[in-house]
Structure 1
Amino acid sequence: MKNTITDTNFNFPGQKSVYKGKVREVYELEDDVLVMIATDRLSAFDVVMPKGIPFKGQILNQIATKMMDETKDIVPNWLKAAPDPNVAIGIKCEPFKVEMVIRGYMSGHAAREYKLGKRILCGVPMPEGMKENDKFPEPIITPATKAEMGDHDEDISREHILKRGIVSEADYSILEDYTRKLFKRGTEIAARRGLILVDTKYEFGKTPDGKIVLIDEIHTPDSSRYFYAEGYKERQEKGETQKQLSKEFVRQWLIEKGFQGLEGQKAPVMSDDYIHTVSERYIELYENITGTPFVKADVTNIEDRIERNITDYLKSQA
């Protein structure tokens, strides 16, 4: 569709390299500066969909930067500035090769595994007798190994992370502590907005001076699942589907179309009408998660706007 950004090809002063992930594109500059651009690409089942979603990049970036600001008192993060609606600029970090997934409820991937008869996820036991979307007695951490673009992330246990030397035991203890603190804060923020933070993932890295910090996105609809708190209990008791805020609605649409990112499957092309629907749902997510109205950025020429705002910021820091 028009007025979306699905790829970038910038050349900033002092630029050293570019990394293109599933949704974000990361420009490394001199002096350990990273410029992260949230595109309008949509990823589901670890596969990038053929078309972009209007305003999705802006929504993800603005939720993530807002949530980093609301959690920086308990967990340090990489962020220094957000000079454009689609852009975050911060410190270059060496990412840990695991995603810290934490689940307060048995939903999504955990529920799909549970229905297959599995009662252990990433080395963590799940109680018998649970229904989909039931709350766990305590939140469980179910890590995943980070994948390159187009590859599937893989479940992994704490034991295997340590055994394979992916993360040291000392560092992993900090990651677990930070993950639980962030999830607790995220749960409190969500509750104030009439939401339940169901599950989410966090990514961490080390700064050049060895400090562990939160990186990438946080509490966005791409990385998290939310339920509406009102009516949750009643829907569970009746065995009804929970009303939720996440991109699960996209996953369900894809499943109905026979796509789950499996080998040999081709992602279905979304019609312009459906893409508009997805965009509107993302705006709804933004407004519910942040508690503020969404203000659409000027998308007349997104590339020029982004380049200008980043360049102006870099000049101001020179």
Structure 2
Amino acid sequence: MMLPEQHAIRESNFQLPGQTAFYRGKVRDVYTLGEQLLMVASDRISAFDYVLPRPIPYKGQVLNQIAAHFLKATADIVPNWLQATPDPNVAIGHACEPFRVEMVIRAYLVGHSARVYAIGERSLCGISLPEGLRENDPFPTPIITPATKAEEGHDEGISREDIIAKGIVAEADYIQLETYTRALFQRGTEMAAKQGLILVDTKYEFGKKDGQIYVIDEIHTPDSSRYFYLEGYAERQAKGERQKQLSKEFVREWLIENGFQGKPGQTIPAMSDEFVWEISNRYIELYERITGTAFVKADTANIAERIYQNVLAWMEK
């Protein structure tokens, strides 16, 4: 078995013509080119707001191509930043001023909301949760639980009222963000259902340019969303069984089982080659399930050089 690292790009370090700034996020390397941003989707994977030590082959390609798929499919709902994808791992688009909140929307009691609910909390980001729910049950209606964007460390949940009262987002803009969030989630839910999946929860990031609100970053990818398999959902829920899901929640669960939740003093457990390849295969499976098309693996002989040459060719045009 070949080492996963031989098929992965952990980071890029380009000097591009016209480059004015560079920022390395948890997963993406972001290059500012005047009025445009160029994002390289690396194969890094994060959980509990920590970047894990080993890259996941093809993960960046999966994320970039799923995001492009959904941005194109939702452009009639809200404008988005994307202009071109000159390489399987690259997206280029408008440089926007980001809103300092992530719009998280949840349709089911899963993940963070389930963990909060299990310890008796019945309020999440100022929203009251009904009694009598079991993990993986649907909420009566999807709830929006925004989070402040942290430069480092953990994003923090915050209520709608606090966002407006603290001036983090102007009230008129925030109302528009909620409207866009619900409309995007509805479209994502419909597209998932056609592929035999349930869109459980997701997050959206928005920005502004010349007075226009845009969707920025990825949407409906396994890094930003959870999916259940539609077939058998009701039966599993009735029996109290765990739901079969496509997301990176299984990575979080593996970390928890191995004593890591991102808390002080905890050490990230070592990931075997086999587990890294399992994660890669799960990402590819989600790509194929959510898009309904076969995943075509890009050439991984020298990923950084491939990306660089494709970007230069696009810029020369």
TM-score, structure 2 normalization: 0.98
Which of the numbers 80, 87, 92 marks the counterpart of 1:89? 92
Map of 2:111 onto structure 1: 108
Map of 2:62 onto structure 1: 59
Secondary structure at 2:192 match in 1: helix
- The answer as to 2:289 corresponding to 1:288 is yes
Map of 2:24 onto structure 1: 20
Map of 1:136 onto structure 2: 139
The whole-number CA distance in structure 2 between the counterparts of 1:15 and 1:127 is 50
The whole-number CA distance in structure 2 between the counterparts of 1:182 and 1:3 is 33
The whole-number CA distance in structure 2 between the counterparts of 1:273 and 1:139 is 37
Task: For residue 148 of structure 1, report the CA deviation from its aligned partner.
Answer: 2.1
- What does residue range 27-42 of structure 1 map to in structure 2 within 5 Å? 27-30=31-34, 32-42=35-45
List per-residue Cα deviations over 1:273-296 (Å, max 9, x = no partner): 111111111111111111111100
Range that drifts further, 266-275 or 177-186: 266-275
Map of 1:185 onto structure 2: 187
The whole-number CA distance in structure 2 between the counterparts of 1:210 and 1:307 is 33
Q: Match for 1:162: what amino acid?
A: I
Q: Match for 1:2: what amino acid?
A: Q
The whole-number CA distance in structure 2 between the counterparts of 1:40 and 1:242 is 27
Contact 1:119 1:127 in 2 (8 A): yes
Map of 2:151 onto structure 1: 148
Task: For residue 147 of structure 1, report the CA deviation from its aligned partner.
Answer: 1.7
- The answer as to 2:167 corresponding to 1:171 is no
Q: Match for 1:173: what amino acid?
A: I
Structure 1 unaligned segments of length 5 or more: list them: none
Task: For residue 269 of structure 1, report the CA deviation from its aligned partner.
Answer: 1.8
The whole-number CA distance in structure 2 between the counterparts of 1:25 and 1:159 is 33
Q: Match for 1:188: what amino acid?
A: E
Map of 1:161 onto structure 2: 163
Map of 1:2 onto structure 2: 6
The whole-number CA distance in structure 1 between the counterparts of 2:40 and 2:211 is 25
Q: Match for 1:158: what amino acid?
A: R
- Superposed CA RMSD in Å reads 0.7
Aligned residues: 313
- The answer as to 2:187 corresponding to 1:218 is no
List per-residue Cα deviations over 1:33-75 (Å, max 9, x = no partner): 1001100000001100001000000000000011000000111
The whole-number CA distance in structure 1 between the counterparts of 2:233 and 2:19 is 49
Map of 1:266 onto structure 2: 267
The whole-number CA distance in structure 2 between the counterparts of 1:19 and 1:164 is 27
Task: For residue 3 of structure 1, report the CA deviation from its aligned partner.
Answer: 2.1
Secondary structure at 1:203 match in 2: strand
Which of the numbers 121, 141, 149 marks the counterpart of 1:118? 121
The whole-number CA distance in structure 1 between the counterparts of 2:249 and 2:242 is 12
Map of 1:200 onto structure 2: 202
Map of 1:276 onto structure 2: 277
Contact 1:21 1:148 in 2 (8 A): no
Task: For residue 195 of structure 1, report the CA deviation from its aligned partner.
Answer: 0.5
Secondary structure at 1:300 match in 2: coil
- What does residue range 69-80 of structure 1 map to in structure 2 within 5 Å? 69-80=72-83
List per-residue Cα deviations over 1:253-307 (Å, max 9, x = no partner): 0000000011121211211111111111111111111111110000100001101
Map of 2:316 onto structure 1: 315
TM-score, structure 1 normalization: 0.97
Map of 1:251 onto structure 2: 252
Q: Match for 1:227: what amino acid?
A: F
Q: Match for 1:216: what amino acid?
A: D
Q: Match for 1:118: what amino acid?
A: E
The whole-number CA distance in structure 1 between the counterparts of 2:286 and 2:264 is 31
The whole-number CA distance in structure 2 between the counterparts of 1:155 and 1:82 is 32
